[in-house]
C-alpha cells in the first residue's frame, strides 16, 4: 500500500501543482521548532503507547486471543540478508511514515475538517489509522499515537512534524525489537537490583 501511495502522492501533488517541499512543510519558517516539538512529543508519548500496547496484549491474552506480531514485524524477523533487513528499515523509517502521514494527516484530516466535522476528522482519521495496521494488540496504542500525530499536525501546520514523529516511533521500535533479548536481560537485572535494595 505504501509504495502505491508514494506514486499517488506524486500524481496528487502534480495535479494540484504543489511541490514536495511545500506539501510537507520544508519551506515552513518554523520547521526546526516543529521538528523539535515532534521529538519532544514523541518522547512523552512513547512510554504511554508502549504501556497501552502491553495492557492490550495482556487483556487479549486473558480473553484467549494470543498476541501476534504485525506482518511487517514477522517479515523483518524472518529476513536473513543484510539487504532484506535494510529494506525493512528503510520501509519502516521512511516509506511508511511519509505515505501514511500524507494520507491521514495531509489529506483525510483536512478534508473531513473542511466538511465541517473537526471532531470526526480528529478521532475518525486516528481510528482508521489504527485499523489499517490489522492488529488487535496495537489497535488502542496506535489510535493514541495517531491522536498525537494529528494534534502535532494541527499544532504545527507542518506535515513533516508528524512524519518525523512517526519515523522516530518506528525507528525506536526497530531498535527495541533488535535488542529485545538484551533489554529483557537488563530489565531483569534492574528488577533484581531494586528488589534486593
Residue 137 maps to a domain: yes
CB 187 within 8 A of CB 139: no
Q: What range does the domain containing 132 cover?
A: 27-66+82-196
Cα distance between residue 115 and residue 123, in whole Å: 15
Burial class (CB within 10 angstroms; exposed 0-12, middle 13-18, buried 19+) of 136: middle
| Residue 120, in any domain of the structure | yes
Q: What is the rounded radius of gyration, in angstroms, for the C-alpha atoms of the chain?
A: 18
pLDDT at 60: 87
Asked, for residue 10, whether it belongs to a domain, the answer is no
Q: What is the pLDDT of residues 160-193, one digit of tens each?
A: 999 999 999 999 988 888 777 777 677 677 777 7
Q: Does 14 reside within a domain?
A: no
What is the number of domains present in the chain?
1
Does residue 71 fall inside a structural domain? no
Is residue 177 included in any domain, yes or no?
yes
Per-residue model confidence as pLDDT tens digits over 68-96? 766 666 677 677 788 888 888 898 899 99
Does residue 21 form part of some domain?
no
Amino acid at each position: 500500500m505504501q509504495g502505491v501511495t508514494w506514486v499517488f502522492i506524486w500524481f496528487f501533488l502534480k495535479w494540484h501543482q504543489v511541490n514536495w517541499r511545500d506539501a510537507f512543510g520544508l519551506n515552513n519558517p518554523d520547521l526546526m521548532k516543529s521538528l523539535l516539538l515532534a521529538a519532544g512529543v514523541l518522547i512523552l508519548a512513547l512510554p504511554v503507547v508502549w504501556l497501552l500496547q502491553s495492557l492490550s496484549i495482556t487483556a487479549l491474552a486473558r480473553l484467549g486471543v494470543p498476541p501476534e506480531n504485525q506482518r511487517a514485524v514477522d517479515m523483518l524477523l524472518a529476513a536473513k540478508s543484510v539487504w532484506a533487513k535494510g529494506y525493512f528499515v528503510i520501509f519502516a523509517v521512511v516509506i511508511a511514515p511519509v505515505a501514511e502521514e500524507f494520507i491521514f494527516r495531509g489529506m483525510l484530516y483536512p478534508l473531513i475538517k473542511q466538511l465541517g466535522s473537526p471532531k470526526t476528522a480528529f478521532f475518525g482519521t486516528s481510528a482508521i489509522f489504527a485499523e489499517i495496521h490489522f492488529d488487535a494488540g496495537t489497535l488502542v496504542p496506535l489510535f493514541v499515537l495517531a491522536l498525537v500525530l494529528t494534534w502535532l499536525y494541527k499544532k504545527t501546520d507542518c506535515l513533516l512534524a508528524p512524519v518525523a514523529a512517526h519515523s522516530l516511533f518506528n525507528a525506536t521500535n526497530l531498535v527495541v525489537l533488535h535488542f529485545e533479548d538484551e533489554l529483557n536481560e537488563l530489565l531483569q537485572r534492574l528488577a533484581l537490583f531494586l528488589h534486593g535494595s
